[in-house]
Amino acid sequence: MTLRIDAHQHFWKYNPTDYIWMTEEMDVLRRDLLPEDLKPLLEKAGLDATVAVQARQMTKETAWLLELAERFDFILGVVGWVEFASDALEEQLERYSEHPKLKGVRELIHEMPDVEYALSEAHVRAISLLSRFGLTYDLLLKPPHIEPATRLVDRFPEQPFVVDHIAKPVIREGVMTPWEADIRALAQRPNVYCKLSGMVTECDWQRWTPEQIQPYLDVVLDAFGTDRVMIGSDWPVCTLAGEYVPVMRVVIDYVAALSTDEQERILGGNCARFYGLAKE
């Protein structure tokens, strides 16, 4: 049977200096959240393994996540961070990619002041280096960033990309445009996958329902098909809006009407193929 994999979650030892993005309304996140905390939640939800994704724009984050992956075999892969605009970028990619569990990197495109950041000279240069080291790239976007990201993807048709959190549509207000048209256009590029993750935090944190999220899942499944989407929790960030199991059940229940093969792909197989994961 195919491994069930959470394609997107984070760990941290909290301190206010490194995690300045955690505002007062995110107080539930302001504590240490580590593999020991996630493991029983995975088991309760019927999942086997995870991909740990960076939460700090610091190279020490990448090194730390790789150390965790060495200690906990259920962490099958790491998506790290490197200094994208630095002269040391190539050296960092070479050093960290020597670790077999570094599967990809990402930059916080959606936080950049320039909506066209994806096409900036430094960013394009960084993406051009990834194939040499066998690394994927996570596209962290909000709706205004999708179109520039599509133009970036067109420059690198052989580079594997995956969109995090279905590009963060404004679910709480039921907004579909221009997100729907733009995500459908991006999905036409066969080297782009999409994570069914981070959706509950785009809803009203206290009053969301799976039914509010369904129209967005409908769009993504129709656009990407069942071969290029993967379940992810965005734990522990998701706990702002819901506990791990109910959050994961949004997608698990949604895909229950699909064939067994399609479910296995979405709940683990596509993630394993995209990141090149193998259970030890």
Neighbours of 256 (CB within 10 A): 9
Regarding beta strands 136-139 and 161-163, do their DSSP bridges make them parallel or antiparallel, or are they unpaired? parallel
Residue 22 structure tokens = 């955690």
Run of H or E residues at 89? helix 89-97
- For domain 5-275, give the fold: TIM Barrel (3.20.20)
Q: How many CB atoms neighbour CB 14 within 10 A?
A: 12
pLDDT (tens digit per residue) in 35-71 = 999 999 999 999 999 999 999 999 999 999 999 999 9
Q: What tens digit of pLDDT does each residue of 191-240 get?
A: 999 999 999 999 999 999 999 999 999 999 999 999 999 999 999 999 99
Q: Whole-angstrom Cα distance, residue 239 to residue 33?
A: 11
Mean pLDDT of all residues in the chain? 97
Closest by Cα among 280, 203, 274 to 234: 203
User: Are the C-beta atoms of residues 231 and 267 closer than 8 Å to each other?
Assistant: yes
pLDDT-based confidence at residue 2 (cuts at 50, 70, 90)? confident
- Asked whether the beta carbons of 270 and 131 are under 8 A apart, the reply is no
Whether 280 has a pLDDT exceeding 70, the answer reads no
Residue 273: CB atoms within 10 Å? 15
Instruction: Quick: pLDDT tens for 108-151.
Output: 999 898 999 999 999 999 999 999 999 999 999 999 999 999 99
Rg (Cα) of the chain, in Å, rounded? 17
Q: Quick one: pLDDT at residue 173? A: 96
List the strands of the sheet with 49-53, edge to edge: 5-9, 49-53, 75-80, 102-107, 136-139, 161-163, 192-196, 229-231
pTM here is 0.97
